[in-house]
Structure 1
Amino acid sequence: MARILYGVAGEGMGHAIRSRVVIEHLARTHDVQVVVSGRAHDYLKARERDHLGVNKIWGLSIVYEDNEVRNFRTVLENVRGAVAGGWPRNVKAYFDLVEEFRPEVVISDFETWSYLFARTHALPCISVDNNQIVNRGEHSPEILAGHEADYLVAKSVVKAKLPGCFHYLIATFFEPRAVKARTTLHPPVLRPEILAARAERGEHLLVYQTSTSNEALPEILRGAGRECRIYGLRRELKEDLRDGNLVYRPFSEATFIEDLRTAKGVVSGGSFTLMSESVYLHKPMLAIPVKKQFEQVLNARYLEALGYGVSADELTAERLQAFLSRLPALEARLATYRQDGNRELLGHLDRLVAEAASNGASPDPLA
């Protein structure tokens, strides 16, 4: 049994959903302490078990407006959070863990604090995320076309996030060539509820949109000619609200997965988690990435290149109809996708943890 410190980025829920699966797997045979910020803390805390502790820390956040990252407001909000108590809270958590837990291995899902803990204490750090594909994969000019500058910026940011890890496990449904050492690509980590779901071909569209800036969205969806089950736009709802062929739903994990497994198609942003779940269940997706989020653009571009869906800069009636007209071809292509649960990544991680714990290897700062 190894003592593992596991860091989870708190921005968005994708990191928490993936990390929940990995952490529960590790906690069966290891002693695991988790550090996590934001909404992800509550999600993981609710699943706390023996040999598993979930500790809340302050983390960076991103400000979105009109389906676009607002850089200046993001900086202001994070500075305000740090001054108001974020950093002191992290420092206290740091010393508490040093004294009480003394981890042997660190695993980071794109989380900085745990990585810095590993570097400070010369501990091996294993990276498990999807973001490192930006820096450690080779992407063709066709995939990057029109976003070359954004790619260089994103690559620099991702490279600086967790340099010199013991190994990089990258979860991905697309497979560009890995161009750096100690890097392996694996199928996405899927929550057990998705693995247990059995896809059926329904007639409705599952729509997940959190931005309210597109005032034409309801009218666009009315033109779909089929029922649209919409999540994210009416967060105050306690029960379904029907407006013609539009059904606004309050969020429920079980209902959402049921709507996903029986959907004809999915309309959403460029989130890797929902995209990888849609691919696994063979559901075509119309992806509208958040502006200035290059990783989402990359996900959507590969989705389209593989024939699993369509990428669009914004949702319009014309783009929605073009997506609907391509559904048969997209379904045929998705039918070829296969994934053997989470065995590949988790099996490799088990071997890495054993190796790292026995060797006590420290990170290579030059990698």
Structure 2
Amino acid sequence: MTSIQRQNFDDLEVIIADAHSVDKTVEIAKSYGCKIVPGGLPATGRNNGANEATGELLLFLDADSVLTNNYISSAIEEFELHNLGIAITQIVPLEKGFINQISHEFANYLTKMISEIKPHGAGCYGILTYKSLHEKVGGFNEHLDFGEDTDYIERIGKISRFKVLDTPRLLISTRRLEEEGLKDISLKYARSTVKQLAGKKVTLEELDYSFEHGVQRKKNRIFYSLCGEGLGHAIRSAVVIEYLINEGYDLIVFASDRAYQYLSNKFENVYEIGGFNTVYEDNRARYKKTFVYNMKDVPSDLKNNINKMYKLARKFHPDIVISDFEFYSNLLAHIIGVPLLSIDNMHVITEARYNSPAKYAKDKIFAEAVVHAFIQRADRTLIYSYFYPTLKNKKTTQYVHPIIRDEIYALKPHVGEHILVYQTSDSNNELIELLKNNSNKKFIVYGFHKDERDENVLFRSFKEEQLFEDFKDAKCVITNGGFSLITEALQLEKPVLSIPVNKQYEQILNALFVERLGYGEHHDHVNQIILDNFLNKVDTYRKNIKENYHKHTDNAETLETLKSTIEELFYE
């Protein structure tokens, strides 16, 4: 700022793009009369600054640059003399020394030589252009995490004249050179230049590059990972992810299968990983086949997932890992030594004291083993639940209210004539035959991945808006034991007939408590007698839900608990 004040040019405004700094950057900038805009990656910060600018010319500078005397006036004079549309200046090291001076002069020479072939440069050289051209090309490409400056120069260079200016010099810090070494930093820039000259994009991950070097920053970076089986984890995670982003946290998300497909259409920075899947046949979890099916992919998934996560962790430097029952992020948290926060509905199986029928004992033991294997030694555990058996360790574990989609909260439920049927797998053909035998009743069925009518049964593929309408007007719900669907049904005051996937203990436990709380019924199998008895009691179950289920109007309480837990872990 002092070097800007010393310039013999005062028809300017200074705009600072601040990327969540925790030092005195904002305070100092304001003392110099600067405008402050939100920062982020370089492309975002530069675009935000350009949007705020009122002048005809834009000069983009890095934070560690120092302007030499008459820098601005000499740059504009040469820029206008050659009728340029975009230009960069040349660089001089702030710290003296023979190696520093030679390396920077060589960088200047190389940049000038390359510019004879095509427009080329980097933000550290200072970029001068017209605001009208900036707007014409749509600014910096915010989808690029590296090379956004070269891409920007090339695009404006195609519609105007480009030059490396001869006179003005910009002093730049050599701290990155000192931290990474001349050899490593030279190789990285050489690799990026070769790719860019070939017209290829370069990423931070490819170069093992970070925009941070030794600067203290606010702890706000999160790796968030979730189980990809079904859509329950994905649907609630979408609510959580949106909240965390709006609260100013930087997130990278990992998911597999349908969860990846769902979230990648809603958010940026969602990465696909391999995950575990359960094999279902005849509405039963087949654990031997599940083991065989998953084990053939585990060696490659373990290598590929951990490599991908670890490389991103080296660039992103997460302060915490949050896992919604996802195995590989749990391993990563222990490898890189950051706190692990577990948030899911599965841990009620292992972290609470409750009774379940003896006939499910083997299923319970297996489920406990899976939960312990998936998440080890979490620093904190939050459990989504609509039932609250006593916790074993209240110091590190607590219940939170289930996450409900805002669209569900907004619905005004009505008791209609149709029965909503939602299945987590398409293997329960016995149920479909039973429904068809009740020709005087209308059933709308989700989970069979098709859109067709079969007598009184209407099959629908998954579309959120349509599901909301069907949910709102349903008389009651027939489902497996999926947690998210049950909690949304309770929110909408819909009695539940739960037929868990056989041997799937998490669903069995959910169903047991639906019945114990008087919100519906749990059965291992369904037949005409069970269906008739349930339908005869739906009014009673609906009354119990209205009187006893603790409905919320939004997710604020759960999300605030999550945020406070994250902040505690940041600074423990």
Deviations 1:29-77 (A, max 9, x none): 100111111111011101114xxx1111111111111111112221222
Contact 2:435–2:457 (CA under 8 A) maintained in structure 1? no
Which amino acid in the other structure matches residue 318 of structure 1?
A: I
* Aligned pair partner of 1:109 in 324, 330, 334: 324
Tell me the TM-score normalised to structure 2 length. 0.59
Q: Which residue of 2 aligns with 1:67?
A: 283
1:281-296 maps to which residues of 2 (within 5 A)?
A: 281-296=492-507
* Aligned pair partner of 1:189 in 403, 408, 419: 403
What is the CA distance between 1:297 and its match in structure 2? 0.3
Q: Which residue of 2 aligns with 1:363?
A: none
Q: Which residue of 2 aligns with 1:157?
A: 370
Distance 2:439 2:488 in 1: 23
Q: Cα gap change, 1:344/1:257 in structure 2, threshold over 3 Å: closer, same or farther? A: same
Q: Cα gap change, 1:176/1:221 in structure 2, threshold over 3 Å: closer, same or farther? A: farther
Distance 1:73 1:265 in 2: 34
Contact 2:306–2:332 (CA under 8 A) maintained in structure 1? no
Which amino acid in the other structure matches residue 255 of structure 2?
A: V
Distance 1:103 1:323 in 2: 49
Deviations 1:205-243 (A, max 9, x none): 00123434434633444427321112223x243xx5251
What is the CA distance between 1:200 and its match in structure 2? 1.1
Distance 1:247 1:286 in 2: 19
Which amino acid in the other structure matches residue 82 of structure 1?
A: V
Q: Cα gap change, 1:215/1:291 in structure 2, threshold over 3 Å: closer, same or farther? A: closer
Report SS of the residue matched to 2:364.
helix
Q: Which residue of 1 aligns with 2:464?
A: 253
1:257-336 maps to which residues of 2 (within 5 A)?
A: 257-336=468-547
Report SS of the residue matched to 1:146.
helix
Aligned residues: 349
Deviations 1:321-359 (A, max 9, x none): 111011111011011223322122211111111111122
Which amino acid in the other structure matches residue 288 of structure 2?
A: F
Query: Identity rate of aligned residues, in percent?
Result: 35
Distance 1:71 1:326 in 2: 35
Q: Which residue of 2 aligns with 1:365?
A: none
Q: Cα gap change, 1:87/1:179 in structure 2, threshold over 3 Å: closer, same or farther? A: closer
Deviations 1:68-97 (A, max 9, x none): 1112221222122235x4234213313321
Q: Cα gap change, 1:301/1:221 in structure 2, threshold over 3 Å: closer, same or farther? A: farther
Distance 1:166 1:230 in 2: 40
Deviations 1:264-322 (A, max 9, x none): 10111111111111011110011110011101000000000001111111121111111
Distance 1:216 1:353 in 2: 43
Which consecutive residues of structure 2, in runs of 5 or more, have no partner in the other structure?
A: 1-217
Which amino acid in the other structure matches residue 378 of structure 2?
A: C
Which consecutive residues of structure 1, in runs of 5 or more, have no partner in the other structure?
A: 360-367
Contact 2:310–2:332 (CA under 8 A) maintained in structure 1? no
Contact 2:420–2:477 (CA under 8 A) maintained in structure 1? yes
Distance 2:461 2:421 in 1: 12
Q: Which residue of 2 aligns with 1:241?
A: 453
Q: Which residue of 2 aligns with 1:166?
A: 379
* 1:76 pairs with 2:288: no
Contact 1:169–1:345 (CA under 8 A) maintained in structure 2? no
* Aligned pair partner of 1:98 in 291, 306, 313: 313
Distance 1:98 1:236 in 2: 40
Report SS of the residue matched to 1:318.
helix
Q: Which has the larger radius of gyration?
A: 2
Q: Which residue of 2 aligns with 1:364?
A: none
Distance 1:91 1:232 in 2: 32
Q: Which residue of 1 aligns with 2:418?
A: 204
Contact 2:302–2:328 (CA under 8 A) maintained in structure 1? no
Contact 1:7–1:114 (CA under 8 A) maintained in structure 2? yes
Distance 2:428 2:373 in 1: 33
Deviations 1:252-275 (A, max 9, x none): 211111111111101111111111
Structure 1 moving runs of 4+ over 4 Å: none
